[in-house]
Structure formats: structure tokens, C-alpha cells
Structure 1
Amino acid sequence: MSGLQQAKSEETRRKVLEAACEAIETGGLAAVNIRNIAKEAGYSIGSVYKHFKDVDELIIAVNTLTFSKMKDRMAEAFEAEDDPLDRLQALARTYYRFSRENTKLWLTLFGHRLPEDYPTPEEHVQANVDLLSFVGRALQGLHPELEGEELTVRVKTCFAAVHGIVALSYERRFVSLSDEVLERELEFAVARLVA
């Protein structure tokens, strides 16, 4: 493939991904339809399928971009603090704020299910690992004795606790809590979890 062809191919992929992101931001996961996305991107359905073998691959690509955006925000939160507990609490607040500012993309991360025989692309797995590494680094700052499998399990537990509170807030389980109060409760939960 020549340099010009490669550039055109990358541009097509980028525009299709942008159209898919916009569809999700507007209508959620249910809005992902290859025909409509092709139309919005200005390409044929065949052009979309040249870059994404099916709708699942397209959603995974969108989710990987969402992970990347979240990672950038988490990196900023992590670097803004020196104390490990402050870092963990900042990561929890940032996760909550990201979910509020990018609700439909965030919901798509957890709402999309791949068929059982569909392998998760390594890039997507690595994006998840990269995101959780911030929690791991902060936890090790608090508890240097944590390592290996024990650290991995604790990272997953911390993430699950924060994610659970955030997810329940969307189900209106914390409907009476303002954003400010919910953020304080996240900080409280994190502090108790890692004490």
C-alpha cells in the first residue's frame, strides 16, 4: 500500500470511529448501526467493513478510545498528587467525573458484551491494564508489601468498589446525593478500603 493509500485508509478509519463515537454519545450503544455510521462518516457500508469486520469490532475500537481518554484524565489526577491516599481519592473522583461527562461512552464500556467465541483484542486488554496501573502504583505507595497476585487482587477490589458506587449512582440508588456529596463518599470509601 502506497503512502497516499495508507493515509486515505487511516483517514477513513478515523472518520468512521468519530461517527461511531458521535452515535454513541447521542443515542448510546443501541445507536451503533453500520449503515447509519457509514452514512454519517460519508462512506459506503463496504468501506466501513474494510476497516471493521463487524459491529463488535467497531464498538471495541470506540471503547479503546474511551479507555485512552480516561487514561489521560487519570494520569493528570495521579500526577497532581504526591501522597498515595490522595492519589487514590483523586483517581476515584476523576473516574466519577469522567463517567458524568462521558456518560454514554462510559456506559458502553460496560454495556457491550462480546460473543463468547470472540477474542478481546490485545490493544483493548492493554488499555484496561494501563488504566488500572494507576491504582496499583498508588496502592504500592501505601502498602509496599503488596506485590504480585495480592496486589492485582487488591487493585481489582478497589476498582470494583469505586465502580460499584458510580454505577449505582446511575441506577438512582444514590439519587438523593449531589455530585459533591457522592465524591466525598467515594473518598471516604477509598480511605477505609485501603486503610
Structure 2
Amino acid sequence: MAGVQEAKRLETGRRVLEAAVSLMQEEGLKALQIRTIAAKAGYSVGSVYKHYPDVDALIIAVNSLTLDQIRQRMVEAIREPGSPLDRLKILARSYLHFAVEQPNLWRGLFDHHLPGNTSIPEEHRTQNVKLLDLIGQEIAALNPQLGSEMLSVRSRTCFAAVHGMVTFSMEGRFIGLKSDQLEQELDFLVERLALEAR
């Protein structure tokens, strides 16, 4: 009997998270309200709260899955052999492609802010670190003498620079680039950063 109840509990949690992901994907962060998620999942509001204490916890769970999707896509993209520089370029393009194909999931990562002094859950922090580690591996291959602290800094710098270009372009800002220029300029940016990493 306990096994059946646990299976039901897990199924409820899975369906609630699945509904939240679907809403984020279709309508963006603004659609993630507990009542809306409960209705889409086919459960009561109370059932959602049994799994997530508030909407912020649910958004963090969705964003953790999004980070994992981005990382998995990047891992797949660099399976083929290549130089560290080539692989860094592929990682940057892979990040861009995800943002273009899944704009609402991608924006949800950066538009959501936890209230007050709420700390980021460890699982979410781990997903961020895993993503940065992919970049760090290639930078380390370019410069094996780089210490761990500086490698972490350089990985963050590389990600921030690529993210900035993608963000300005996705938002249609004046300094953003058109889609036919963006990949080429991402390559240029990565090459310049890689030169500094050596």
C-alpha cells in the first residue's frame, strides 16, 4: 500500500512539473501561477503545494531542467573531435540555438528573481556549475597552466560575453546583431577570448 501511495506521489510531482515546463515553454514566466499550473496538471492547488512550497520553488525546478537541457544539447554538439577553440565556438552556437528555439524557457532563466535573501537551491546551483564546467574544460585545454580560480573566472567571463551578445540580439536592441551576423560574430568573440586564455 505504501508503495502505491509513493508511486502516486511521484506521479503527481512529475505531472505538476511537466505542466509548469509546458506553460513556461508556451507562454513564458508570467504564466507560471499555482492555480494555472494545477489546472493544467489536473490537480488541486493543494496538491501542487504538497510538492512545492511556493511558485518560486516550482520556477526554480523548471529552470533547473532548462539548464540541464542546454547542457545536454552542448554535450551532444561537441561529441565530434575538434580543437578546443572549435569546441568553444560550437558551445556558443549551441547556446544561441537553444535561445532561438526555446525563447520562453531561456528567458525564464534570467527573468526570474528569488525574493529577498532567499538562497539558490543547491541543485540549481549545481546545474549552473555543470554548464560552466563545459566551457572550462575547453579553456583549460587551451591553457593548462591556468589555476582553478582563474579558470572559473575565465569560464564565467566567456559565458557572460556570449550571453550578452545573444541577449541583446534576441531582444532586438540597437546594439544587437541580425541572425545572419550573430553566429559569425560569436565565432569572432570566442576567438578573441581564446587568445586571452592562452
TM-score, structure 1 normalization? 0.95
Aligned residue in 1 for 2:136: 136
CA shift for structure 1 position 79: 2.1
Secondary structure (helix, strand or coil) at the match of 1:82 reads coil
Say whether the 8 Å CA contact 1:78–1:134 is kept in structure 2. Answer: no
Map 1:65-76; keep pairs closer than 5 Å.
65-76=65-76
Cα displacement (A) at 1:170 = 1.8
- The answer to whether structure 1 residue 193 and structure 2 residue 193 are counterparts is yes
Shift of 1:138: 0.4
Give the partner amino acid of 1:185: E
- How big is the shift at 1:176? 7.8
- Partner amino acid, structure 2, of 1:144: P
Q: Say which is worse superposed, 159-168 or 71-80, in terms of deviation.
A: 71-80
Aligned residue for 2:4? 4
Name the structure 2 match of 1:152.
Answer: 152
1:140/1:146 contact within 8 Å kept: yes
| Aligned CA distance change for structure 1 residues 94 and 52 (closer, same or farther; 3 Å) | same
The alpha-carbon distance between structure 1 residues 161 and 177, as it changes in their structure 2 partners (threshold 3 A), is closer
Q: How well do the aligned residues superpose, as a CA RMSD in angstroms?
A: 1.5
Gaps of 5+ in 2: none
Q: Tell me: CA distance 1:147–1:22, structure 2 relative to 1, closer, same or farther (3 Å).
A: same
Shift of 1:117: 2.3
Q: Which residue of 2 aligns with 1:41?
A: 41
Q: Deviations over 1:134-175 (max 9, x none)?
A: 100000111111121111110010000000000001221368
How many residue pairs align between the two structures?
195
Give 1:64's aligned residue.
Answer: 64
SS in structure 2 of the partner of residue 189 of structure 1? helix
Q: 1:176 to 1:117 in 2, by over 3 A?
A: closer
Aligned-residue offset at 1:106: 0.4
Corresponding residue number in structure 2 for 1:170: 170
CA distance in 2 between counterparts of 1:176 and 1:62 reads 28
For 1:5, give the aligned amino acid.
Answer: Q
* Corresponding letter in the other structure for 2:25: E
**SS of the residue aligned with 1:194?**
helix
- SS of the residue corresponding to residue 78 of structure 2 reads helix
Distance 2:99 2:174 in 1: 15
Among the aligned pairs, what percent are the same residue?
52
| Structure 2 partner of 1:105 | 105
Q: Please, which runs of 5 or more residues in structure 1 have no aligned partner?
A: none
Secondary structure of 1:79's counterpart equals: coil
After superposition, the C-alpha distances for 1:69-96 in whole angstroms (9 at most, x for unaligned) are: 1111011122224210001000000000
Aligned residue runs from structure 1 range 84-123, under 5 A = 84-123=84-123
Q: TM (normalized to structure 2)?
A: 0.94
Q: Distance in 1 between matches of 2:149 and 2:12?
A: 42
- Check conservation: 2:169, 2:178, Cα contact below 8 A: no
**Which amino acid letter does the alignment assign opposite residue 171 of structure 2?**
E
Structure 1 116/159 Cα, relative in aligned 2: closer, same or farther at 3 Å? same
